[in-house]
A and B are shown apart, each in its own frame.
Chain A
């Protein structure tokens, strides 16, 4: 009798907790940086710039074989970047290559989303593939400045592309 009651009480508790999702915990998934990331419908140049840089982060993370989140946590300061590179055995050239690839990926995503004129995108890709090392790192690691407003990104690209009419980079006139 006592043993039967103990078994029943234990089973009831376990079944209720299982039914309430006790065994179904999964952490919020972290997206695969190599998978295509849909651009949401942007409403401002700032949103364009933000999505551009998040795509760049995806591309660079994919190239390095880490998550976008790991790279985001590693980029803010030189110290965190060095620590990240040392932990993963990545040299400067590999990091720079990855960031260049990230910028190219962002241009591809922007073009796929119809946010960048295809002709301009082609030109930007050519430039990004040969983006000077310091500019490439600066573009990603200094993303905070770029996030301040869309003109931050435009200024940076403008510095690289002095002869391009930046008004046509994003199809917003």
Chain B
């Protein structure tokens, strides 16, 4: 019973921390509106966490082996919980980013120490790695939906505040284990020096994570900012990815060859991202088939690459740390490369949509006396929304009382809204296609690893 409580606490801790890499995705639009920052600046709420997690993962794993995994896990969870509280109370972007960095340090310690502790719970390193990877994947998959739900029903701050009690509850079963830890951990660390990380698997993980992070981040921004969906509606739309990943999970058992699974997954992710880059219209339904491909690809690739990175390598905590570092470094690289691309494209498309909208207005059948006033209100609305995709609807309020004139204005409004949505959809195209290229690039290390494995078999 004690063992299962400990196992559950560790799995929840891993899931909660790794969910944090994506849980705020749906809250980003609310955060940047409330804290009055740009899209580029708000991206750092994701980048800061993932960057620090990537940097802290391997040192945290080493520390866990030297000081004692339970102690490091407890300290990590307390730091993570305290920083989550600070995130929830942050009134400025600077404070939020600082708290996110501290959160990532605590999170890295908790996640890597958990991998060190899990073999004693599950009875084998292989099962421990499986549980650890599954908990992380589940957390990352549930994260965006849960974040969207909390943002819509409560507030973006509630995402972080809810993590405080979760972190503290996870600490409790660890207290007994920590008391039992002696100097054994330090001796074990000296006995078992860490081997070299699996370069190909980790490189592929980084590239795939770059593509996946971009996929999730860009899809959410497209749905909420481009097409003006509510966070709950966007959360429902993006659950297509984790649901298809969950449904595809049994495939991983049916195809034992790691290289084939990884390569197929990467191709599906690239295909799905290319589909998102080629959306024929601004329609949520059209995002579903590409999301399903990405979800299936995610299930195949992440498990295969994590398995390859940990297979036969010891100590597992440190190699697990390398996989965390690779994945989150990939996320950071993806966000840093793609954010300037899509923000520049958004600016261009926004300017073009403004011109097209005013052209439609000038050439419309709307009462001439309303035209310049409307043009001015549309221009004001666009200026008021800064570098965001503008919602021009308020510029048309109040609608004229005359029914005929009202119909003309409503038709014009819908035409301009459609123009803006199509422009916003197109603004994300290049970024999705670049992320597809990231995914395809992962085929290189996967191919090299398969070739090396075959050479060793011969």
Contacts and interface: CB of A to CB of B under 8 A. Distances in A.
Contacts of A23: 278
Interface in A97-150: 143-144, 147-148
Contact of A144 (B349, B369, B425): B369
Contact of B267 (A7, A30, A54, A77): A7
A49 B277 CA distance: 45
A69 B374 CA distance: 12
A60 interface: no
Nearest to A150: B368
Interface string B274-318: 110111110000100110010001001000000000000000000
Contact of A14 (B264, B274, B367): B274
A46 B368 CA distance: 9
Contacts of A72: 358, 362, 372, 375
Among B260, B297, B362, B373, residue most surrounded by chain A Cβ atoms (within 10 Å): B362
A2 B253 CA distance: 13
B372 A10 contact: no
Contacts, number: 122
Contact of B261 (A2, A18, A29, A75): A2
Interface in B199-229: none
Contacts of A70: 355
Given A2-B260, A5-B264, A27-B419, A76 B376 contact: yes
Contacts of B268: 6, 9-10
Contacts of A68: 359, 362
B422 interface: yes
A90 to B, nearest CB: 18
B352 interface: yes
Given A9-B268, A25-B425, A73 B358 contact: yes
A3 B277 CA distance: 22
A50 B272 contact: no
B372 A75 contact: yes
Given A13-B290, A27-B419, A80-B376, A2 B356 contact: no
B412 to A, nearest CB: 12
B376 A27 contact: no
Interface string A1-23: 01101110111011001101111
Contacts of A27: 349, 352-353, 355-356, 419, 422-423
Contact of B293 (A10, A46, A67): A10
A22 B371 CA distance: 33
Contact of A6 (B264, B369, B376): B264
B280 A3 contact: no
Nearest to A49: B368
Given A6-B265, A30-B359, A21 B280 contact: yes
Contacts of B267: 3, 6-7, 10
Interface in B329-377: 349, 352-356, 358-360, 362, 367-369, 371-373, 375-376
Contacts of B147: none
Contact of B376 (A14, A18, A54, A77): A77
A140 to B, nearest CB: 10
A69 B369 CA distance: 17
A99 to B, nearest CB: 15
A47 to B, nearest CB: 9
B349 A69 contact: no
B423 A10 contact: no
Contacts of B376: 73, 76-77, 80
A74 to B, nearest CB: 8
B253 to A, nearest CB: 13
Contacts of B261: 2
14 contacts: A2-B260, A6-B267, A7-B267, A11-B271, A14-B275, A21-B280, A27-B349, A27-B422, A31-B359, A68-B362, A69-B354, A69-B356, A75-B372, A76-B376
Interface of A: 2-3, 5-7, 9-11, 13-14, 17-18, 20-23, 25, 27-31, 46, 49-50, 54, 57, 67-70, 72-73, 75-77, 80, 143-144, 147-148
Interface of B: 251, 255, 260-261, 263-265, 267-268, 270-272, 274-275, 277-281, 286, 289-290, 293, 297, 300, 349, 352-356, 358-360, 362, 367-369, 371-373, 375-376, 378-379, 419, 422-423, 425-426, 429
